[in-house]
Amino acid sequence: MNFFKRCNIYALIMFSAFFFGCITEKTVIEETPPMSRQAIEKFTITQTDEGKLKMILEAESAIIDEIKNIAQLKLPVIKFYDKGEYVSTLVAESAVINMETWDVRGIGKCNMDNAKNEHLQTTNLMYDAKKELVYGDHDVKITRPNETVYGTSFEADTKLTNIIIKNQRTVLE
């Protein structure tokens, strides 16, 4: 056989192997299971009681887990109301809200301001929606117009009027 015939035969064999190799290979497409999570930008929840505002929660974004019925929030701002009247605002770095009970777990730095210009600072607090209480087991600082109160844990209503502080130290100004 001359050189050109051998090259043509080899080229034909190589082309056949490539061509038939591509044809016989099956493409498998797997079905994607349904997602139990949703991502939402500019997330908002409004809660009312007998037609009056109770809470408005806004967050930059939320990842909702429908199976666990929770939402992971980024930079949430929660405004609390009592019989439709504004009482306070809670801001956290992030939070998790239970979509059944409306309980919120603030994660990271948490700040709360009330309508009387009182300010609470702590980390990792909880909001119990049924009891309408905010509480935490980390250091807390409450600033009022004439005093600053420090403590190691706290429990307060959303108005910041009834507050229990453990191991408190007060600085009068």
pLDDT band with cut points at 50, 70 and 90 for residue 18: low
| CATH T-level fold of 37-172 | lipopolysaccharide transport protein A fold (2.60.450)
**Domain residue spans in the chain?**
37-172
Q: pLDDT of 90-124, one tens digit each?
A: 999 999 999 999 999 999 999 999 999 999 999 99
CA of 42: how far to CAs of 45, 75, 76, 79, 84, in Å?
10, 10, 10, 15, 23
pTM: 0.75
If you average pLDDT over every residue of the chain, what do you get?
A: 85
